Amino acid sequence: MPTPANAHFAQTLISWYGRHKRSLPWRDTTNPYYIWLSEVVLQQTRVAQGQPYYERFVAAYPTVQDLAAAPQDEVLRLWQGLGYYSRARNMHHTAQLVAEKYRGQFPDKYEELIKLKGVGSYTAAAIAAFAFKEKVAVLDGNVFRVLARVFGISDDIAVPASRKIFQKLADELVPADEPDTYNQAIMEFGAIQCTPLMPDCLFCPLQQSCFAFNHGMVQELPVKSKAKAARPRFFHYIVFELNGSFYLRKRLEGDIWQGLYDFYLYESESKDLPEAQLLQELQEAGIPVQEAQLQPPAKDYKHVLSHQKITARFYRIKLKYPLKDEVLTETRLAPYNVEKIEALPKPVLISSYLKDAKILVYL
C-alpha cells in the first residue's frame, strides 16, 4: 500500500493546523479534567452544539471534586438537551471515582485512564495525549476518514475488527515529540478540511499523496455499512394536574432517559390509540377517570434518537382529588409544582410539551 513517509505526513498536518485551527476553550489547557469534560460533551455532538454545554459545566463545576459532589439530578438538568444521557451519568460516576480513589488527580497513563467508567479508548487516548503528551493515537470519525482516504483503506469502519487496522497505522504515525499537537491536527483536519461530503481537495496539502484523490475515490472512502433503521415507538403520556401541580415520575434503568422525569406513560404498538383503551389502562392502574376528564392531544410530538424514533401524544387530565398512596407507589408518580418541575431534568420531548401547554412558559 503506497503511503507517505510518517514524518512528512505528521509534519504536514501540524503545519496546516498551525494556520487553520479553530480557537476552542479546551485547547488552551493541559488540565486533564477540562480535556476529559470536553471529550465527554463532544462525543457524537457537533462542536457548535457542545461548546455551550462545556462552558456551562466548567462554570458550574470548576474542579472534578465540584462535579463529584453535585447531585445527579442537577448534573442531568445541566446536560438536558444534549442527548445520550448515559454519558452524563457515567461522567458523574467517573468524577466521583477520580475524586475519591485518585484524590482528584486523573491517572496520567492511557492504560489506567481506560479503566475509568465511561472512558473508552478514544477518550483515554485524548486525555493521555493532550494532557500528558503520551505517544498514543486518538481515533475518532475524523481520523478514520483522513486515514482511509489518504492511505486507501477500504475496510468497513463500522466493523470492530477494522479498528485494529486503523489503530495500528494511527499509532505508527504519531510523532514522539508532539503527540498532543499531532492528534489535535489530524482531528481538526478531518473536521474542517477532509470533511465527509464536501472535502476541500483543491487546497489540500496532502493532495499529491492522497490515495482517494488520485484514484477518484474520495466519496467512496471511508467505507461504512449503514446502521439499522431506528425502530418506531409510540408513547401516550397522561398529564395529571391537581391544583396547579403535576404528577411526574423518575425513569428507571433499562430504557432510554434513565434518571430523567416524565409523566405517566402508556406505550402502544401504533400511533392511534382508542380513548376507551386508554381509560381501561388507567382503570386497571387504579386511577378512575371519566371520558369527559380526558383532554385529547393537540398534536403529535416526534423525537429521533440514534436507534429509536418516538412519536408521543399528551393527554391532560384535571383531577378533583389527589391520587391515592397505593397508586403513587405503584406508578412512582409524585406531585410537583411548576417551580420544582422547571428544576427537574427532563427529556427534550417533555420540555417541548410543557412549553407548548404553557405549563412552563420560560423553557
Q: Which residues contact 289 (CB under 8 A, 6 or more apart)?
A: 279, 282, 283, 317
172: three-class secondary structure by DSSP = helix
d(CA 76, CA 231): 25
Q: Which residues contact 64 (CB under 8 A, 6 or more apart)?
A: 33, 95, 98, 99, 104, 106
Nearest 5°: the CA angle 330, 272, 262 is 35
Structure-block grid coordinates of residue 127 = 486525555
- DSSP summary character for residue 230: P
d(CA 121, CA 138): 8
Calculated CA dihedral for residues 335, 338, 343, 347, nearest 10 degrees = 80
Provide the terminal-to-terminal Cα distance of the chain, rounded to the nearest Å: 55
Rg (CA), the chain: 25
The rounded Cα 326 to chain-centroid distance in angstroms is 37
Alpha helices in 114-267 (DSSP H): 121-132, 141-151, 160-173, 179-192, 211-214
Residue in 39, 74, 134, 284 annotated catalytic: 39
| Whether residue 39 lies in the annotated active site | yes
Q: Which residues contact 103 (CB under 8 A, 6 or more apart)?
A: none
Cα-based distances in Å from 166 to 154, 203, 330: 11, 25, 51
The rounded Cα 152 to chain-centroid distance in angstroms is 30
Q: Which residues contact 248 (CB under 8 A, 6 or more apart)?
A: 261, 262, 263, 333, 334, 336, 341, 344
Question: What are the catalytic residues?
Answer: 39
